[in-house]
Amino acid sequence: MEKKLAGKVALITGGSRSIGAAIAKRLAADGAEVAITYSASPDQANEVIRSIEAAGGNAVAIQADAADEKAVRSAVTKTVATFGGIDILVNNAGVLVFGAIEQFKTEDFDKMLAINVRGFFIATQEASKHLREGGRIINMGSVNADRNPFPGASVYALTKGAVASFTAALSRDLGPRKITVNNLQPGPTDTEMNPANGPFAQTLKSFMALGRFAHPDEIAGLVSYLAGPEAGFITGASITIDGGFAA
């Protein structure tokens, strides 16, 4: 049987590790040709590519800091040049800095805006010039846009709230081209940045109906659905996948 994303081209920003790597591998397994960006982890990025190629897929890694406008635009251009087009953009690259608002550093605020918001805008703007009709944009937001049961996440929540608003409005801009735009809001997920056995894990699990962290493959599975043909009528949505964190 033909794989559901056969003939499609996907670009995943921040695709060298954790959720991004899981998404890249899943979309490749579904038949897409995949490009990933990475900032400072070439070994991890190349390992993702090797894994995809070993499974019979086609993939390329592109160095591009999500805060660097020229690099992000170039990554889109290289994806199109390598694979002949683009059908799926997954805005995944992100950064998380916690801190009390009274002491929060301006440089950390600027960094989060640059990567979590401006980076999404730049990648989306550039990709929208090339996205084929019926394409997909999937933004990786966070449940923290809706719920923060602990202090210190206000600036992070600000950036993810911006992603949710951007997603909803952008769906109107791109709807005439049959391009869907959706925002995926994971809860605590077992990643390098927030491991399931980390110092805050037990506290986070206590807020969750299922009492456990998500696995990156579970997040990737929902991305796969949104990227596929069955999700063609879903757009402008913020979809939470959080094990009941916000319940």
C-alpha–C-alpha distance, residues 190 and 194, integer Å: 6
Residues designated as active site: 156
Q: What pLDDT score was predicted for residue 193?
A: 84
The answer as to whether 97 is a domain residue is: yes
> Among candidates 24, 31, 29, 35, which has minimal Cα distance to 8?
31
Domain span including residue 223: 9-241
Three-class secondary structure of residue 80 per DSSP? helix
CATH number of the domain bearing residue 84? 3.40.50.720
Question: How many folded domains does the chain comprise?
Answer: 1
> Among candidates 55, 122, 131, 118, which has minimal Cα distance to 89?
131
**Sequential pLDDT tens for the chain (247 residues):** 689 999 999 999 999 999 999 999 999 999 999 999 999 889 999 999 999 999 999 999 999 999 999 999 999 999 999 999 999 999 999 999 999 999 999 999 999 999 999 999 999 999 999 999 999 999 999 999 999 998 999 999 999 999 999 999 999 999 999 999 999 999 999 998 889 999 989 999 999 999 999 999 999 999 999 999 999 999 999 999 999 999 9
Q: Where are the beta strands (DSSP E) in the chain?
A: 9-12, 33-38, 59-63, 86-91, 131-140, 180-186, 238-241
162-173 burial code (b ≥16 CB/10 A, e <16):
bbbebbbebbee
The answer as to whether 227 is a domain residue is: yes
- DSSP category for residue 236: S
The answer as to whether 3 is a domain residue is: no
The answer as to whether 176 is a domain residue is: yes
> Among candidates 185, 70, 172, 166, which has minimal Cα distance to 120?
166
Q: pTM for this one?
A: 0.97
The answer as to whether 1 is a domain residue is: no
Q: What pLDDT score was predicted for residue 224?
A: 98
C-alpha–C-alpha distance, residues 202 and 21, integer Å: 25
- State the sign of the Cα–Cα–Cα–Cα dihedral 153, 182, 137, 26: positive
